[in-house]
Every structure is written in structure tokens, then in C-alpha cells.
Amino acid sequence: MTFDVRVVTVPDVLPYDAREWRDALVVVLSGTLDLDGELFPEGSVLALAGLPLEVLRRHGEQPAVLVAVTRPEGDEAVGEDDAGEAGAEGDEVGRAPPPAPDRPPPTAPVGGDDP
């Protein structure tokens, strides 16, 4: 799986456009990001899509440097209908693959006559 990575520097104030942040996981690489008074220091991980913002601001003297990671354009999220195309069953978040038919479920006793 590949991802698109963008590095965005917020030197002081940067106009906010929700479309630019659609489907992006954003990490504050350095500096501190100020979102309408809420501060996100270096190492913060956030999503910026769909927020009621006018601008992104840096807080402090140094610029805020953000790294935005997204799926490549045209690549869609795995859904119920196409889970098999993405890989083995259970690749979706929150779902484990079913046990193999020839193996007992993980909670069943294995071997011996123990109850």
C-alpha cells in the first residue's frame, strides 16, 4: 500500500481550505499549531478536514511544520463490498478473520481430555 505525503509549513497564518485536508492524517512535525486557541504541539496527530476554521496559525516563534498523509487520489477506502480485493479476510479495522475450518476457535481447549 502506498500513501501520498505532503509537508506543509505554517509560517504565521495559512488560509484553511477543508478540501485540502480531506482524508488526511496530520502530524505536527515541529512547532505548535494553533487552531482557534487550541494548541497542538510537536507530535500531535489530528484530522483537519471539515473543521469550522478560517486559518491555521503557528503558536510561538518557530513555524509549525505539518506532515499530511493520504491515500493516493482515486484510491478508495475498503468497504464491505470490496474487502476481498484489499487482501485476506479480516484486513478491515475491528474485524478478525474467522478461524480456519480445520482449527478450533482460540478459546477452545486444545488436546487432552481437559474440560
Q: What is the mean pLDDT of the chain?
A: 78
pTM of the predicted structure, to 2 decimals: 0.64
Cβ 91 vs Cβ 78: under 8 Å: yes
1 pLDDT tier (thresholds 50, 70, 90):
confident
How many CB atoms neighbour CB 96 within 10 A? Answer: 9
Given a cut of 70, is residue 70 above it in pLDDT?
Answer: yes
pLDDT in tens, 8-25: 999 999 999 999 999 999
All three cell numbers of 56: 491555521
**105-115 confidence digits (pLDDT tens):** 444 444 455 55
Percent of the chain whose pLDDT exceeds 90: 58
Which of the four CATH numbers 2.60.120.1030, 3.40.50.2300, 3.40.190.10, 1.20.140.10 does domain 4-70 have? 2.60.120.1030
